[in-house]
Amino acid sequence: MDVKSRLVLAVIYLLSLLTLKGARRLGRFIGWFLRISNSTMYKVTRKNIELCFPEQDAATREAFIRESLFHTGCQIAETGLAWGGDPKQRAKAISFIKGEQNPEVLEGALAKGKGVIILVPHFGNWEFFANFLPQKCELMAMYKEAKMPVMEQRMLEARSQSGIQMVSAGREGVVTFIKHYTKGGTCLILPDQEPAPKSGVWSTYFGVPALTPKFVHYLIKKNPEGTVVLAHMKRTDEGFEVIYSEVDQDIYNADMEISAAAMNRTFERCIKKDGAEQYQWDYKRFKKNPEKFYRNL
């Protein structure tokens, strides 16, 4: 193992030793540093907020950006806590989840036994779902190959030990994922990121044309009796709160563009309702838009 990989693992281990309050103090420092250093994450966050909330005045926007970067910092600092490996660490991670809103939404979908798609936006700290949801169902999720193999290995170890069956986003993994869902299994997907052009359809997201994944629509067509629900992990003063919601019913529409628009509206609704500053605005969600919003950032 090279020096860089050893350093990454050491950082993850040290983060796992923090208290939740300690991680959040560190997160605020990271967010502050991202802003004062004029980092790419800061510039992308600013651009996305300008695009998605053009009605905001300058003071409101600056406050929004500061809080968004604080939550970005928390997402980084909480990594060691979220990636619980052994039973003690997993129990610690689960203990940070202090409540659930509308659990009957997921429970009702699971009770049907026909398959469930859990849509999870990049909101709050979605990593904690890896420890929490396997208590409720036999869960499968896909992952994309990480840029750093050691990070991928650590992530896979942590998630698989929690009870999630992980499959790669390659051909074989996709086939396994589809079979799991069509046989009545539960699948977790984070589809609010930009896909490859051939895997996406254009739809608006916060009023901006965005390439949106086709895969959720494809899964729905494969298993029409299944149910789609939304779940997001909201950061609170005490820890986290899991919030379940029903999706916009047009997501089941046979027309792919109507379905994609409904999925985007579902995400927009929860983000606006539960604190837009907790969303991952540092991601280049509109990178393939012909306007080239991130040029020179």
Residue 229 lies in a domain: yes
- Block residue for tokens 């999870």: 120
Residue 124 lies in a domain: yes
Residue 199 lies in a domain: yes
Q: For residue 171, what are the domain limits?
A: 3-278
Note down pLDDT in tens along the chain; length 297 residues: 567 777 878 888 899 999 999 999 999 999 999 999 999 999 999 999 999 999 999 999 999 999 999 999 999 999 999 986 678 888 899 999 999 999 999 999 999 999 999 999 999 999 999 889 998 999 999 887 666 666 667 677 767 777 889 888 888 999 999 999 999 999 999 999 999 999 999 999 999 999 999 999 999 999 999 999 999 999 999 999 999 999 999 999 999 999 999 999 999 999 999 999 999 999 999 999 999 999 999
Residue 222 lies in a domain: yes
Q: Classify 276 as helix, strand or coil.
A: helix
Is the sign of the CA dihedral 288, 291, 296, 297 positive or negative? negative
Sheet of 240-246, strands arranged across:
97-101, 240-246, 227-235, 116-119, 186-189, 139-143, 165-168
The total of structural domains in the chain comes to: 1
